[in-house]
Structure 1
Amino acid sequence: MRKVMIIGCPGSGKTTLARKLSCKLNLPLVHLDVLNWRDHWQPVSTEEFDALLLQEVRKEAWIIDGNYHRTIPLRLEQCDTVIYLDYSRMTCLLGVIKRVLKGYGKSRPDMGGNCPERFDFSFFKFVWDFNKNNRKNYLEMLSHQKDKTVIIFHNRRECSEFLRKL
């Protein structure tokens, strides 16, 4: 595991897993949200994001967390390991609600710029519908990755056990 891509529904714990893996494996950590967001939830241009991401994936080692569907093919091409947090919608929704309640009005360190946590019901709906809209495509895409290590966790317990055994 030298180039690890972590994907999954918002609230599944991608960033938490990425931090823990980064420490255990001594690999640099890249949050796609840091590349994408500037103050007050303003995204960078597509061209700037793509240039920043390309710069990161060309490095010899990394852990990158985040979905950003449009860029999954590039990251898949460059990674050696994919971890998919395939958790239930309720687990993820509760994860997002907990994150908002804990950090309301504050910006997380894994976000670019000043993007304070807020209640955003359209985002909650996005999380609720994430598996319905993405799971099939993710599993199909991952089933074709013959030269990659693909790890799929179905719950937090499986993920915790994996980290404990590393």
Structure 2
Amino acid sequence: MRRISVVGTSGSGKSTLAGEIARRLGIPHIELDAIHHQAGWTPMPAPEFRAAVAERIAGDTWVVDGNYRTKLGDLVWRRADTVVWFDLPRSLVMRQIVTRTVGRAVTRRELWNGNREAWRDMFSRDPARSVIRWAWTTHATNRARHLAAQEDPAYGDVTFVRLDSRRAVAEFLDGLDGQATSG
């Protein structure tokens, strides 16, 4: 594993998992949300986003986290040798995302480019504004998309690792110890 894409529903823990994989392997971590969400939650225009991501994944080793296949197409997966799909049950994802989002709103923690979680967005019915609503509405679609991708011959050279529990994550991470690479 040298070029790894970590995917999953918002709130599943993709960034935390990707950061830990990168740390254990000694390779760069690229967080797509940090690139995409500019100041004021303004999305980076698609051509600029693609160019910025392409530049970052040009190297031989990396861990990318994020689901931006609509905007990026197969840019990341064409370079990836491994896709780690963090596929936790919806109930657990929802518990995690509500806890995380409330915590961020209370502490006013900056995420990327000056952006912070806002109380009003948490309660919005618009999935584009509420990450909680987004996680709820995209969970089943993400699962179907990733299940289909595993069977797609276009990704025949990609190793898929599906992690569907915290125990599976711990076992996967334990298996990475001692695999650090230079690059």
Normalization by structure 1: what TM-score?
0.91
CA–CA distance in structure 1, aligned partners of residues 83 and 11 of structure 2: 18
CA–CA distance in structure 2, aligned partners of residues 33 and 48 of structure 1: 14
Question: CA 1:3 to 1:135, structure 2 compared with 1: closer, same or farther past 3 Å?
Answer: same
Q: Which runs of 5+ in 2 are unaligned?
A: 177-183
SS at match of 2:74: helix
1:133 is matched with 141
| Deviation at residue 72 of structure 1 after TM alignment | 4.5
CA–CA distance in structure 2, aligned partners of residues 30 and 46 of structure 1: 17
TM superposition outliers: structure 1 runs of 4+ over 4 Å: none
CA–CA distance in structure 2, aligned partners of residues 147 and 20 of structure 1: 24
RMSD of equivalent CA atoms: 1.4
SS at match of 1:87: coil
CA–CA distance in structure 2, aligned partners of residues 129 and 100 of structure 1: 16
Q: Which runs of 5+ in 1 are unaligned?
A: none
Conservation of the 8 A alpha-carbon contact between 2:8 and 2:142 = no
CA–CA distance in structure 2, aligned partners of residues 155 and 129 of structure 1: 20
CA–CA distance in structure 1, aligned partners of residues 92 and 115 of structure 2: 23
CA–CA distance in structure 2, aligned partners of residues 8 and 66 of structure 1: 8
What is the identity percentage for the equivalent residue pairs of Structure 1 and Structure 2? 28
Normalization by structure 2: what TM-score?
0.83
2:181 is matched with none
CA–CA distance in structure 2, aligned partners of residues 137 and 100 of structure 1: 25
2:49 is matched with 49
CA–CA distance in structure 1, aligned partners of residues 39 and 142 of structure 2: 28
SS at match of 1:58: coil
CA–CA distance in structure 1, aligned partners of residues 158 and 46 of structure 2: 27
The residue correspondences of 1:99-138 to structure 2 (distance < 5 A) are 99-104=100-105, 105-108=108-111, 111=112, 113-119=113-119, 120-121=122-123, 122=127, 123=130, 124-138=132-146
SS at match of 1:107: coil
| Deviation at residue 21 of structure 1 after TM alignment | 0.7
* Number of aligned positions between the proteins: 163
